[in-house]
Structure 1
Amino acid sequence: MKKRTYVVAFFFGVTVALLMIFIKLPYYVTMPGTAQDLKPLVHVEHGDDDAGTFMLTTVKMGRANAVSYLLAHVRPFYELYPLEEIKQDGESDEEYTMRQLQMMEQSKEAAIAVAYKKAGKPVSYKTNGIYVMSVLPHMPAHGHLKVGDRIVEIDGKKMATSDEMIKYIRSKKKGDKVHITFVRGKKQKEATLALMPFPHDPKQIGIGISLITDYDIVTNPPVHIDSEQIGGPSAGLMFALEIYNQLVKEDITKGHKIAGTGTINIDGEVGPIGGISQKVVAADREGAEIFFAPNEHGAADSNYREAVKTAKEIGTKMKIVPVDTFDDAIRYLKHMQ
């Protein structure tokens, strides 16, 4: 009888353990990821092999189970996010991953263009159009635009990049109408849409789409970036710095280990990212001496300010440096000892 009780208890315990591991909760859990040397990922033909290191920082993320849900409440720098804050309505895991990889491609293209222009090396690029990456339900574009549509004009104006279109829409106000001309397959279509606030951010208005600019870039010397399966746009700044360092004769790292994060656009402007605290922790663990953080033009809730706060919490000696542009980072490095 006692043996049978032990067997039942054993199988009950195994069942509970499996349920805690394999049943997914409606949350994502994020935690500090890695700080990875960029030299093995960025290959400029005949590029310099420098003594210092630029590092790409990441956040580790996955669907929460009961175990990770509990850990997120007790471990520092573990964060929980409801599904709707990470994935868009109706978006599958595969579609989310594809969206992140597409943003990485756009980030790499911008980083290449910025680095080559700054280094005075030949680079040419043209835009092949602005493509719809996702459409939010309950927003004006829903039912009119689809993923993969190529936007040709807005209010009769041609837009070369997604940044141009976003800036144009942000110059409008709630209730204003915009006329969108787009191509789906081989057919040109049109839609007139009224701007409205985003459900997750009522301060921002739009039509409820995310965009990506498709570039063709030709460089001399050639460059290849092996981003593996890293997704998202947040490595743009660090890719640009590594490419530039391989293009120029001097070692702009001056032998230091330098980490950082931030999106970058074709004009070299650095933008904010998510998970800044977790990336600071990851960089500190890998012994980074300097960390570039998006300054957001001095905003009170900027990535930079959060990074400084985190650095104090973990007691790191790593220097947190605010940047708004690629040139800001280069200026700091040139004056660095």
Structure 2
Amino acid sequence: MRRKIPLGAFLVIVIILIGGMFYSLPYYVTKPGMAKELEPIIKVDNGYKEKGSFMLTTVSMGKANIYSYLEAKVKKYEELYSEDQILGKKETEEEYNAQQLYLMAASKLNAIDVAYRKAGLPVNYKYKGIYVVSVVPGMPADGKLQAGDRIFKVDGHQFSSSEQFIAYMAKKNEGDQVTLTYLRNKKTLSATINVKPFKEQPKKIGIGISLVDDKEIIVNPNVNVETDEIGGPSAGLMFSLEIYNQLTKEDITKGYHIAGTGTIDVDGTVGPIGGIELKIIAADKAGAEIFFAPNEKGAKDSNYRAAVKTAKDIGTKMKIVPVDSFDDAVRYLKKLPQK
């Protein structure tokens, strides 16, 4: 005869199993994300259409629970990282997310710059203020400002660069106050904050933020890039290719489905990224036929070599193409036969 489990014990087991889904461990799990077509999210006014497609690729990352931790331990293309490996010892998750969104914004600016200049069109910039990347614990801004705030006035003054803001703050003395006007979640707010010396640099006066320029690119025709909450700089190359293709009459997709990854500098240089193995899997699942991978000038541990290894391991027919620059990718595409 089977022994029946008492109802109370059964409920306890169920609660423990469900609780395991919601109990977070001090780890993050990464796994293959998605490969997303760019034409629906990038719109150049009156841009040219394409027969194929360019795709960005992503890595999915989230806090580990008991089950995802155990799954990552046994699955080949899932990775575990400690909180310190992702966030650093002094960085909050909020600051990490703000930094990733800033890196995505900077990546879009660089991609637009590269694509328009390569298409022979002028590019200009409008300085909007300062983007707060992080706040130093224990400094005056702590508790008043947060990562992601966009400061556009200091004591009622607007500056034309972050260097001017830093120079203005450097003239202050310990105990002086500054009134900052800033945007947070599309709301205009203000805060009056004292300045004081940094512990590590007693001669340096400030409020305790790390910052970068918040600027807007001015181009004609206008371009809109909707990335929602996707963060990081790794889609830069693919953004630039999609924008360039909409700006020029020749369709360089040639009817192929093209994925890839890599940062993009304003000079068109393609840089390495993390998690390329996972992005190869995402692109293969989405049916990509070509994948651009950062070549890193032929380095033995390059993204390209890791991509080739993964492609062989999963048995994909996708062509892995090494690139060091935007021009490398365009040259390759222009030599492709029309599909």
- When normalised by structure 1's length, the TM-score is 0.77
In 2, Cα distance between the equivalents of 1:210 and 1:77? Answer: 35
CA radius of gyration, larger in: 2
Q: CA deviation at 1:262?
A: 0.8
Quote the residue 2:77 is aligned against: 77
Amino acid at match of 1:89: K
SS in 1 for 2:304: helix
**Stretch of structure 1 that moved more, 260-269 or 46-55:** 260-269
Amino acid at match of 2:293: A
Structure 1 residues 16 and 45 mapped into 2: Cα distance closer, same or farther (>3 Å)?
A: same
Q: CA deviation at 1:307?
A: 0.6
1:60-87 CA distance string (max 9 Å, x none): 1100000000100111210000011111
1:213-258 CA distance string (max 9 Å, x none): 4332111111000111111111111111000000000110100000
Q: CA deviation at 1:210?
A: 7.2
Amino acid at match of 2:21: I
Is 1:311 the equivalent of 2:311?
yes
Structure 1 residues 212 and 238 mapped into 2: Cα distance closer, same or farther (>3 Å)?
A: farther
Structure 1 residues 193 and 326 mapped into 2: Cα distance closer, same or farther (>3 Å)?
A: farther
Q: CA deviation at 1:134?
A: 3.4
Quote the residue 1:324 is aligned against: 324
Is 1:239 the equivalent of 2:235?
no
Answer yes or no: is the 8 Å Cα contact 1:88–1:136 preserved in 2: no
Structure 1: 5+ residue stretches without partners? 151-159, 163-179, 196-208
Quote the residue 1:248 is aligned against: 248
Answer yes or no: is the 8 Å Cα contact 1:32–1:59 preserved in 2: yes
Amino acid at match of 1:107: S
SS in 2 for 1:292: strand
Answer yes or no: is the 8 Å Cα contact 2:150–2:214 preserved in 1: no
Answer yes or no: is the 8 Å Cα contact 1:106–1:214 preserved in 2: no
**Stretch of structure 1 that moved more, 123-132 or 109-118:** 123-132
Quote the residue 1:57 is aligned against: 57
Structure 1 residues 26 and 253 mapped into 2: Cα distance closer, same or farther (>3 Å)?
A: same
In 1, Cα distance between the equivalents of 2:168 and 2:77? Answer: 43
Q: CA deviation at 1:39?
A: 0.7
SS in 2 for 1:64: strand
Quote the residue 1:46 is aligned against: 46
Quote the residue 2:104 is aligned against: 104
1:108-136 CA distance string (max 9 Å, x none): 11111110000112322255677562378
Amino acid at match of 1:59: V
Quote the residue 1:122 is aligned against: 122
SS in 2 for 1:215: strand
SS in 2 for 1:227: coil
In 1, Cα distance between the equivalents of 2:43 and 2:287? Answer: 24
1:187-209 CA distance string (max 9 Å, x none): 9x9989999xxxxxxxxxxxxx9
Structure 1 residues 149 and 247 mapped into 2: Cα distance closer, same or farther (>3 Å)?
A: closer
Quote the residue 1:66 is aligned against: 66
1:270-314 CA distance string (max 9 Å, x none): 111111000000000111011111111222211111111111110
Amino acid at match of 1:328: D
Is 1:261 the equivalent of 2:261?
yes
Amino acid at match of 1:108: K
In 1, Cα distance between the equivalents of 2:218 and 2:38? Answer: 21
Amino acid at match of 1:23: Y
What are the equivalent positions in structure 2 for 1:13-24 lying under 5 Å apart?
Answer: 13-24=13-24
CA RMSD of aligned residues (A): 3.2
Structure 1 residues 143 and 46 mapped into 2: Cα distance closer, same or farther (>3 Å)?
A: same
In 2, Cα distance between the equivalents of 1:328 and 1:53? Answer: 18
In 2, Cα distance between the equivalents of 1:302 and 1:192? Answer: 39
SS in 2 for 1:84: helix
Answer yes or no: is the 8 Å Cα contact 2:95–2:134 preserved in 1: no
Matched residue count: 295
Q: CA deviation at 1:212?
A: 3.9
In 2, Cα distance between the equivalents of 1:216 and 1:5? Answer: 65
1:78-97 CA distance string (max 9 Å, x none): 00000111113343333322
